[in-house]
Amino acid sequence: MGWRATSILIYIILIIVYRKLSATGSLAARQAHKARAAGLVGQPAHWSLHCQAIRHIGTAIAPYDARAYRICHACTQIMKKLSTSFATATLALAGALALNACGDKSPTAQPGGAASSGAKPAAATPAVPVSTVAAVKRQLTLSLFATGSVVPVSAVEVRPQLSGVISRVHVREGQTVRAGELLFTLDTRSDAANVAKLRAQIAKDQVLLADAQRQLARSRELLAQNFISQGAVDSSQAAVDSQLANLQADQASLAAAQVPLSYGQIRAASAGRVGLVPVFAGSAVQANVTPLATITRLDPIDVAFSLPQSALPDLLALLQGGKAQVEARLPEQTQALTGQLQFVDSVVDAASGTVKVKARFENRDSRLWPGAFVKVALQTRELKDAIVIPLPAVIQSARGPVVYVAQDGKAVQKPIQLLAAQGDDAAVSGLNEGDRVVVDGRQNLRPDVPIAERKPAGDKAGGKNGKPEGQPAAGAQGGQAVQGEKAAP
């Protein structure tokens, strides 16, 4: 039991004793004064009763009223003195007990209450258990990661250029077509009749032109024989020119009439796969309004994704080199497809701080489908002979990144420079190969604190990458370093 509980218990016992004595003393005083008032005792008896009352009261300090109990002045003075003495003694006893209890809690106090002969030495700081991994020197491949979507190289929506009725559908949904292949035929009988009419008019113009030319030839012969005047020859020449102009005009009209007639046959503008065909033979369509089908080119195919603007220098260098390989992996597949970096946008999206990028892939087996989401990995560069440590070992402090290194059984805090991060690996400077950095348990560390090293679970020789196996992948996209936990002050 603690000293506080002991003091409270003693105080409660004193109050109970005090109330018991108060009740007893007050009763004795009342009986003595009743006897004196009845004339049963004399003056000596009165004093003896006074002494008896005081003796029964003892050291009681119960509150009383001299008028209610009709106690004489002498008894009142005696009881007040006794009350003051008892209260003072009670407070002194409680204080002594409290001080004695406090004294028992002092560092030098002995179990029996006596002071010890000498202070005990302070306990040694216990070693903090930590997991460490050795820094390794190796090649680190840096890649940018993103989530992209498959987009076709070209997707042509087929619409009619002529209003009319579809007379025949020559294509099936899902069919692969070549460029120029016939897809739909419209009812163009009125346009064909107009073309035939213009052709007949052209034939008539040609006959009239030939007659005018013969008339001009005879007029020139007669002019040579002076049978007609020069004016007659000029009139024949004008007739020839007029018929020639009419012929040319009708030929132009025929060419114009043949254009809508050609619109009656709808052909594929590019090679690809035909999508949904929502019309049938007999469907009425409007020019440039009604969609007939969509032809999508699937081989090759592109993957569009976005990367942070900080990756622009690496992207432009890779684009100029022309050998940038991009890997695309579908969520449900383990094998990745390899393509080439094809395009980097000319502007950065101010809202997201990213730049749009495209990569082109061969798709002969149609593994990539437009609209599908893929995971993209773009290899940017390689760091050779880099000091690599686990990224979770890096702590972001107010002075920059630091790590705890195990030296002589203590945790030594060392500042480092984070060169690059890839997954759970970090390439740093400021460490030597073989330095054992603290990975787990660093939240309980302070500089120069004793530590007890242990290997992380599943780590036999520092791991292939110099990190404990089974650690979760870093959440940085594009190979960016993740902010670690803050260092201790």
Give the pLDDT band (50/70/90) at residue 44.
very low
Residues 156-163, mean pLDDT to the nearest whole number: 93
Name the architecture of domain 295-380. Beta Barrel (2.40)
Provide the CATH number for the domain formed by 384-479 in this structure: 2.40.420.20
β-pairing, 128-134 vs 449-454, is: parallel
Residue 23, pLDDT score: 56
Spell out a b/e string for 425-461, using b for 16 or more CB atoms within 10 Å of the CB, else e: bbbbeebeeebbbbbbbbeebeeebebeeeebeebee
Pick the CATH number of 189-263 from 1.10.287, 2.60.40, 1.10.10, 3.30.700: 1.10.287
Place of tokens 């997954």: 423
Rounded to the nearest integer, the mean pLDDT of the chain is 77
Closest C-alpha to 411, from 433, 436, 428, 376: 436
pLDDT per residue as tens digits for the range 451-480: 888 766 555 434 444 443 333 333 334 444
Edge-first strand order for the sheet with 182-186 is 265-267, 182-186, 164-169, 284-285
At 310, give phi and psi (nearest 5°): -65, -20
pLDDT at 85 over 60: no
| Whether 157 contacts 291, CB under 8 Å | yes
Distance, in Å, from the CA atom of 91 to the CA atom of 161, rounded to the nearest integer, reads: 112
Of 309, 303, 310, 328, the C-alpha closest to 379 is 328
In this prediction, residue 242 carries a pLDDT of 92
Domain segments of the chain as ranges? 3-104, 189-263, 295-380, 384-479
Name, of 23-37, 69-83, 155-169, 331-345, the range with top average pLDDT.
155-169
Q: Is the pLDDT of residue 153 over 80?
A: yes
Rg of the chain, C-alpha, whole Å: 55
Contact between 272 and 154 under an 8 Å Cβ cutoff? The reply is yes
Put residue 181 in one of left, alpha, beta given phi > 0 → left and psi -120 to 50 → alpha.
beta
pLDDT of residue 83: 53
Q: What local confidence, expressed as pLDDT, does residue 233 receive?
A: 87
Per the CB < 8 A criterion, the answer to whether 403 and 393 are in contact is yes
CA–CA separation, 478 and 377 (whole Å): 9
**pLDDT over threshold 60, residue 263:** yes
Sign (positive/negative) of CA torsion 336, 338, 341, 343? negative
Peptide bond just before 107 cis, omega within 30 deg: no
Q: Are 425 and 376 in contact (CB under 8 A)?
A: no
Nearest to 251 by CA among 192, 191, 201, 190: 201
Domain 189-263 and domain 384-479 have a common topology: no
Separation CA 350–CA 127 (nearest Å):
51
Predicted pLDDT at 141: 86
pLDDT at 380: 85
- At residue 228, the pLDDT reads 85
pLDDT at 486: 41
Q: What percent of the chain has pLDDT over 70?
A: 69
- 329 pLDDT band, cuts 50/70/90, is very high
Per-residue model confidence (pLDDT) at position 467: 42
Q: What is the C-alpha separation between 84 and 77, in angstroms, rounded?
A: 11
What percentage of residues in the chain have a pLDDT greater than 90? 46
- The Cα 109–Cα 117 span in angstroms is 9
Q: Is the pLDDT of residue 281 over 70?
A: yes
Please say if the pLDDT value at position 62 is more than 50.
Answer: no
Confidence at 383, pLDDT banded by 50, 70, 90: confident
In this predicted structure, the answer to whether residue 421 has a pLDDT above a threshold of 80 is: yes
Half-sphere exposure of 347 (CA within 13 A, CB side): 4
pLDDT digits (tens, 9 = 90+) for 287-326: 999 999 999 999 999 999 999 998 898 899 888 887 788 9
Compute the CA torsion angle 388, 389, 390, 392 (nearest 10 deg). -130
105-109, 146-150, 412-416: the lowest-pLDDT one: 105-109
- In this prediction, residue 50 carries a pLDDT of 45
Lowest mean pLDDT among 70-79, 274-283, 423-432: 70-79
Amino acid at 196: A
Q: What is the DSSP string of 331-380?
A: TT-SSPEEEEEEEE-SS-BTTTTEEEEEEEE--TT--S-TT-EEEEEEEE
Q: What is the mean pLDDT of residues 388-395?
A: 92
Q: Are 406 and 364 in contact (CB under 8 A)?
A: no
